[in-house]
Structure 1
């Protein structure tokens, strides 16, 4: 029935850094010129899946970011709300800031990966500020014997209605982007085709009113392809890019603008690659440096929206920061610290079990002004050096163990905005990776300085 193997995502309403309402009540839409010098925080919504299922949860998860690039999961990366109707699980959540300043939250009604499920409904909540989720309901979009995947919404001022777009199969026999219109997200108009390029597509993500043009990115054959239109009328969009197709395939596009730069995110089997451009009209994207962005742990098929600083502050106060950290390599930024068979190493994200990459940076066992790395998955064990190699051992309470497991955090040797870690009892040596294993070495070359530099994030 469908050529694409996974349901995905994303319709970001291309906001500049602003979030206020315009005089018409519609959300202010960013452009290249407007908002380029301002920066607002952002919220991301997602569900989670991990390779061995340990971190899989089909509830709504939240993360926040001050720059739209480095994401901090909230509520210890646990769900903040879970559907009680339909399948009892969600995929592909989406937040829309409404005309009155509150949010509507929508999501695909699907728990797990049964792509043959035929739900005609989507999950819907109302939320004042994403701290509480009220008036849960299932909203029926159509009566066809097919699905309603990856719902997104935007305000169509010409109709004085919200448009809900989603992926479904119509009489053409392939997936298209459908649309229903609504004023209250309780009743909707009859469905109609919003975009059908003549082949199977899913996952619409839009940027509205960018220099008078509306952009729609979608998934086709494991690539992200762009279309555009000067109106929001169904049938008005035309394809203008050849598509981005990284090895292994991709889905779930998200268009997001931050501080004058447009980003196109995707979901490549649980990894969120990102591209950037200063001009959407060219359809040309440059891969973003993985050093500058970090996705939430186990995140899948996300939504991104700008939020006021007060909403950001209240979310962090409500749900809390993670009690653990992950450490990312500077010169191989798709790899993170982890332990495997009690050996310290860096491996490519994602891997299983993901908990092997979570650490508590606690006061140093030998010096409280330094740090020690306590394993989250094996809390009686700490990273310590033995014969200069890092391993995960049980704290035996000896002075030697405490010294071996203590490190002074310093400015990154390759980049002072990152971090390096100097051994407490071998102060001429730093933690570095060598052939993907963690060890302590004397550092004298540019390569070694890069090997010894890491980010401490989540």
Structure 2
């Protein structure tokens, strides 16, 4: 959740997006007694978009086999929505408990009315993240204040789970609080977990890393780290160099299980909700280098997410239960913050996010002139497809003519700038490819490396 000293917006654990160019593992708090094995992951989040077209305050899920590219489940609709409190959630967190089952925690707040203070958080139990049971609200704080961005960890020394969250204490500013529980039904009295003397929110823990515990949090508009050899409340001291990309909040620490790399994620605190990532080979050093945005793609409209490692079987079961989207998004190779969309029926690439967000959703259907190719059918204007006209791409109604079918058909090839990406060659102008020029889409012959980069796209969600 956002603190009161900056632009409003609850926050936490942005990911968002993904981790490394290598298959990465995830450490969220302490490892459980039955931690998942394999290379699959689940992300929990809620959604917001700039004008609210894509805002939904239920629990959304996405899955990934590499923690980089994410598949939203249930057509990016919520899989469960709170029925108590404000009737909505922010900042969901997924913990695999010691018995191998899951608990889901979330802020009790629907929308962005920060005056709605709640001492409670939403809680669900789940054996498999396909069904959610025992919905309840758990009271954390005795003061009339918020209980924002809850996260849980196993404290082996206490034999209990700790729930940390952001709240105003008697100090009069935001601190990180902690309550202890064995069942997420009742909890101990609140204690101050971390208070450096100024507003801090959005705590995220990595527990037991070479004998040290690390807590990252939002200070002003940056992400900052503290550390302690114990998990005792009050024992953490600040040590890291702040990082940010504009105004950043919602940190999440991620450890690669295939290398020495650590990743720190942050989320912009505006409703625009863009995830950014940094990396380090030494968590103890407290310094970070930005990760290339080409390496990850966050789920559409996702905000303040959490990631939990799951097994391959759990991954397959979640896909079977909820299904993958019936649409795709296309990301520019050399402008990875921009996605293919239509605007005033013109094809172009624009910086994410934007509304209507559905302008960037496409069904890649069999080519209208050759089923071996593809045509780009608009999701929000399903009678229209992208076609070239005077070499510029525009969104036109399919008039059923052979000319339209040919203009709207393209052959998908290995990416001209990166073979793991995609390029699209025109059906009836086979020497030309879809590319962007001044952010507008057109078909052109290609010769230079810049041309080829302009013509390369990532097809994902």
Normalised by the size of structure 2, how large is the TM-score?
A: 0.93
SS in 2 for 1:401: helix
> Which residue in 1 is equivalent to 2:453?
450
Instruction: Note the 1:366-445 alignment, pairs <5 A.
Output: 366-445=369-448
Is the contact between residue 382 and residue 395 of structure 1 (CA under 8 Å) also seen in structure 2? yes
Q: What do the CA deviations read for 1:14-43 (whole angstroms, capped 9, x no partner)?
A: 9x7389xx9x963669xxxxxxxx962111
Instruction: Note the 1:245-260 alignment, pairs <5 A.
Output: 245-247=244-246, 249-258=247-256, 259-260=258-259
Deviation at 1:262, TM superposition (A): 1.7
Deviation at 1:72, TM superposition (A): 1.2
Is the contact between residue 7 and residue 202 of structure 1 (CA under 8 Å) also seen in structure 2? no
Instruction: Note the 1:349-368 alignment, pairs <5 A.
Output: 349-368=352-371
> Which residue in 2 is equivalent to 1:123?
122
Deviation at 1:245, TM superposition (A): 2.4
Gaps in structure 1 of 5+ consecutive residues: 30-37
> Which residue in 2 is equivalent to 1:33?
none
SS in 1 for 2:284: helix
Is the contact between residue 327 and residue 364 of structure 2 (CA under 8 Å) also seen in structure 1? yes
Residues in 1 aligned to 2:163 and 2:192: alpha-carbon distance in whole angstroms? 11
> Which residue in 2 is equivalent to 1:295?
298
> Which residue in 2 is equivalent to 1:145?
144
> Which residue in 2 is equivalent to 1:181?
180
Structure 1 stretches (4+) deviating beyond 4 angstroms? none
Q: What do the CA deviations read for 1:290-348 (whole angstroms, capped 9, x no partner)?
A: 11100000000111111111111111111111100000000110000000000000000
Residues in 1 aligned to 2:351 and 2:262: alpha-carbon distance in whole angstroms? 26
Deviation at 1:246, TM superposition (A): 2.0
Residues in 2 aligned to 1:397 and 1:96: alpha-carbon distance in whole angstroms? 52
> Which residue in 1 is equivalent to 2:62?
63
Q: 1:159 to 1:290 in 2, by over 3 A?
A: same
> Which residue in 1 is equivalent to 2:91?
92
> Which residue in 1 is equivalent to 2:11?
8
Is the contact between residue 13 and residue 267 of structure 2 (CA under 8 Å) also seen in structure 1? no
Gaps in structure 2 of 5+ consecutive residues: none
Is the contact between residue 2 and residue 174 of structure 1 (CA under 8 Å) also seen in structure 2? no
Deviation at 1:240, TM superposition (A): 0.5
SS in 1 for 2:275: coil
Is the contact between residue 42 and residue 305 of structure 1 (CA under 8 Å) also seen in structure 2? yes
Residues in 2 aligned to 1:18 and 1:204: alpha-carbon distance in whole angstroms? 17
Instruction: Note the 1:171-320 alignment, pairs <5 A.
Output: 171-247=170-246, 249-258=247-256, 259-260=258-259, 261-268=261-268, 269=270, 270-320=273-323
> Which residue in 2 is equivalent to 1:102?
101
After superposition, the CA RMSD in angstroms is 1.8
Deviation at 1:7, TM superposition (A): 2.0
Residues in 1 aligned to 2:263 and 2:38: alpha-carbon distance in whole angstroms? 14
Residues in 1 aligned to 2:292 and 2:333: alpha-carbon distance in whole angstroms? 11
- Greater RCO, CA 8 A, separation 6+: 2
Deviation at 1:6, TM superposition (A): 2.5
Q: 1:343 to 1:405 in 2, by over 3 A?
A: same
Deviation at 1:189, TM superposition (A): 0.5
Selected match of 1:26 from 16, 21, 33: 33
Deviation at 1:2, TM superposition (A): 3.3
Residues in 1 aligned to 2:65 and 2:14: alpha-carbon distance in whole angstroms? 20
Residues in 2 aligned to 1:382 and 1:438: alpha-carbon distance in whole angstroms? 14
Residues in 2 aligned to 1:62 and 1:148: alpha-carbon distance in whole angstroms? 23
SS in 1 for 2:313: helix
Residues in 1 aligned to 2:307 and 2:48: alpha-carbon distance in whole angstroms? 18
Q: 1:212 to 1:221 in 2, by over 3 A?
A: same
Range 270-279 or range 56-65, more displaced: 270-279
Residues in 1 aligned to 2:44 and 2:145: alpha-carbon distance in whole angstroms? 25
Residues in 2 aligned to 1:451 and 1:410: alpha-carbon distance in whole angstroms? 14
Residues in 2 aligned to 1:366 and 1:436: alpha-carbon distance in whole angstroms? 27
Q: Number of residues paired by the alignment?
A: 444
Is the contact between residue 12 and residue 304 of structure 2 (CA under 8 Å) also seen in structure 1? yes
Range 73-82 or range 276-285, more displaced: 276-285
Selected match of 2:333 from 321, 325, 330: 330
Deviation at 1:10, TM superposition (A): 2.9
Residues in 2 aligned to 1:127 and 1:294: alpha-carbon distance in whole angstroms? 27
SS in 1 for 2:83: coil
